[in-house]
Chain A
Amino acid sequence: MILLYVALTFAAFVVLFPFIWMIITAFKQPGTEFSSQILPSKPTLENFKRVFTEFGFVRYFLNSTIVAVSSGVLATLLASLAAYAFTFKNFVFKEKMYGLIIASMMVPGLMYVVPQFAIINKLGWMNTYRAMIVPHLANVFGLFLLRQYMGTIPKSLIDAAKMDGANDLQIYGRIVIPLSLPIVATLFLLTFQFHWSNFLWQLIVTNKENLYTVPVGLAMFKQQHEELYTLKMAASAVSIVPISLIFVFAQRYFIEGITRGAVKE
């Protein structure tokens, strides 16, 4: 037992070490990030201050929040509506359409970059939040994930609701979504995280520094020849705060999800 704890503690340390290093480096004086001392000799808040005053990270965080929250919410909403239709409704070519949509997951995401960019450009959406949000709203993986989960909801439950006169929107909002909440929360977290850390697309569709998102801003610290580690680590340390917070809140749903089906009434 003790051995297990030692092993797990060691593993935890290995996993956490980059984070620890990030936080320590964020408090170091520039130029001393690779000195032999592990802890900063003169800890400073200067890095954090410069990140927000000189490097415009206030704006980058605002942009990232707008983009990640809107895409997370909209993508999850669309995926859940589609999953509802594919699970509980019948229409022509349903399974064929589903197969076709799922097949699109086989195309590597990078293949879409140029055509999507061409469309965004034709629409005149360059340098807008729309350009960063809209192209990724149709989330095939999300549809797959939610349909798999919704398939486990007993059909009799839906039929009972129908019997009581509930329409589709009511069934969706009152029964299906509350029952799928853990998986919906998971999907939101995944899409939020994807958009929060998406670099290439946000870089390509913006030609204005005041529209840059956090990952693009972070990339600015890696210059042609040198990397401004202390500043980069300060900005990175702040950038993981929203994700950690969301995870802490969403965790409740994960645990609920596990316990929900445990007892049969």
Chain B
Amino acid sequence: MRYVLALMILALILGCAKEATREGIVLKVWETYNSEERPVFLSLVEEFEKQHPGIKIEAVNIPFDGLEPKILTALATQTAPDIARVDVAFLPKLAIRGALYALDQFRVESIKSELRPVALSSCIVDGKTYGIPDQVNGLCLFYNKELFREAGLDPNKPPSSWDEFIDYAKKLTNKEKGVYGFGMKNSLWWTLPFIYSFGGDLLTPDNKHCALTSDEAIAGFQFKVDLYAKYRVEGGAWRSGGIRDDMGFQSQVYAMIFNGPWAVKGLERSGIDFGVALIPKGPKGYATNVGGNNMVVFSTSKHPKEAAQFLMFIASKDSQAKWANSLGQVPVNMLADGLIDFSRHPYLKIFMEQMKYAKPRPPIASYPEIENDVNPEMQAALDGKKSVREAMEAACKKVDAILQEEEALKAGLKKQAR
């Protein structure tokens, strides 16, 4: 009992210790960098502070899954930080609710032309710039060189078209050994490369209607379904209870999977002999999707101008060159491309090449809701419970309803603002 009391008293004392007040401007940043990225980010922070005496950066590392509820609670009580690093899909949701500063007023124009367009486009909502990208990536094809050799394939010649891909996958599939040519996920984002490479898209160009029922989109998704149901080269990684694609790639069950730059470190550690290639060409050429993170400034910030300065610093040529060289990630600033030492990061060239064929997601606030509604329909088609067309038609109905809701919400918010 005495120890308990002592602990409680300790708690009160520690709790009461007031923060020392600092002079100058303090910018609070909530970020979600992983344990490898964090030291690089902090060294950039240090550099920024050196260049801008009088501005201090207070960075807090937040678990990725906890960021959204934390930000939403903070917004409800006006206690948001100055800056946060958010997933590209979260930015539009914050933007239409008026939670963010439009940065155009802080002379971000100068840096916009240097940034990779696929990354920048995820920051632009209704023509205004609500963030600066700090990370961009897209899916590529990862393949197991050892399994390629065993199947009599040249490990330095990954498949370049979907036809070749099927051919390779058939040769790689060996059901007796429990090896499959391909392992895939069932989710809209992970299906977009198929749809794009067949010339399809998620929404119509005006972002007002669902486009998944177009012949091209259906052909793309049909191809993905066929890999499992018709060609039987996919091991059912998407099924609940199936061996997940990335885990199966590690345990050499799947010879090829889609994955992104983030997977390289882990695979290198596991000692698997793997290669990275562009996702095979479809009837409409190479294609992939876009993911990543953007830095935003909350509208409750008292120092938006300085915050914008920090955002531009992180996305600047030098910072991004350092970022890419230390971590093997695609720089968001294209001027940094020439400063990269590819000998240290053999796969980075492919990742950057793949970004040339990347297509950003539409900047709509309800993208996560769309995923939630489309994924079960896709699952039904993969399971063979619905035809691809039926599934896409059902999905599109839900997507259109979501888009209408978003329009209504936006109109309501605009009225409120007035």
Contact = CB atoms under 8 A, between A and B. Distances in A.
B269 A207 contact: no
A177 interface: no
Interface in A223-245: 223-226, 228
Contacts of B263: 225-226
B14 interface: yes
B73 A226 contact: no
Interface string B257-282: 00010110011111100000000000
Contact of A54 (B11, B35, B248): B35
Contacts of A40: none
Interface string A107-139: 000000110011001000110111001000000
A34 B63 contact: no
Contact of B251 (A29, A34, A118, A207): A34
Contacts of A200: 66, 69
Contact of B15 (A74, A130, A225, A228): A130
B260 A69 contact: no
Given A32-B270, A226-B262, A226-B263, A199 B77 contact: no
B63 A220 contact: yes
B interface secondary structure, majority? helix
A207 B11 contact: no
A175 interface: no
B73 A117 contact: yes
B12 interface: yes
B251 A35 contact: yes
B411 interface: no
A31 interface: yes
A156 interface: no
A208 B7 CA distance: 20
A181 interface: no
A35 B250 contact: yes
A224 B34 contact: yes
Nearest to A119: B77
29 contacts: A30-B266, A31-B266, A31-B268, A31-B269, A31-B270, A35-B251, A55-B35, A66-B14, A67-B11, A70-B4, A70-B7, A70-B11, A113-B73, A117-B77, A121-B79, A125-B15, A130-B15, A133-B11, A200-B69, A203-B66, A204-B74, A209-B60, A216-B63, A220-B35, A220-B63, A223-B35, A223-B262, A224-B87, A226-B263
B113 interface: no
Given A35-B251, A70-B8, 20 more contacts: A31-B267, A31-B270, A34-B250, A36-B251, A55-B35, A66-B7, A121-B79, A126-B79, A128-B15, A129-B11, A130-B12, A199-B66, A207-B30, A219-B64, A224-B262, A224-B293, A225-B263, A226-B34, A226-B246, A226-B266
A23 interface: no
Contacts of B417: none
B20 interface: no
Nearest to B17: A128
B7 A65 contact: yes
Q: Size band of the A side of the interface? A: 35 or more
B63 A222 contact: yes
Contact of A222 (B65, B87, B247): B65
Given A66-B11, A117-B77, A207-B28, A216 B66 contact: yes
Contacts of B63: 203, 216, 219-220, 222
Interface in B106-131: none
Contact of A220 (B61, B248, B266): B61
B137 to A, nearest CB: 8
A66 B76 CA distance: 29
A28 to B, nearest CB: 11
A224 B76 CA distance: 25
A252 to B, nearest CB: 17
B70 interface: yes
B333 interface: no
Interface string B237-259: 00000000011101110000000
B79 A223 contact: no
A73 interface: yes
A83 to B, nearest CB: 20
A34 B253 CA distance: 11
Instruction: Identify the 7 closest CB pairs spanning chains A and B, nearest first.
Output: A31-B270, A219-B63, A31-B269, A128-B15, A225-B262, A34-B247, A223-B34
B69 to A, nearest CB: 6
Interface string A67-81: 101100110000000
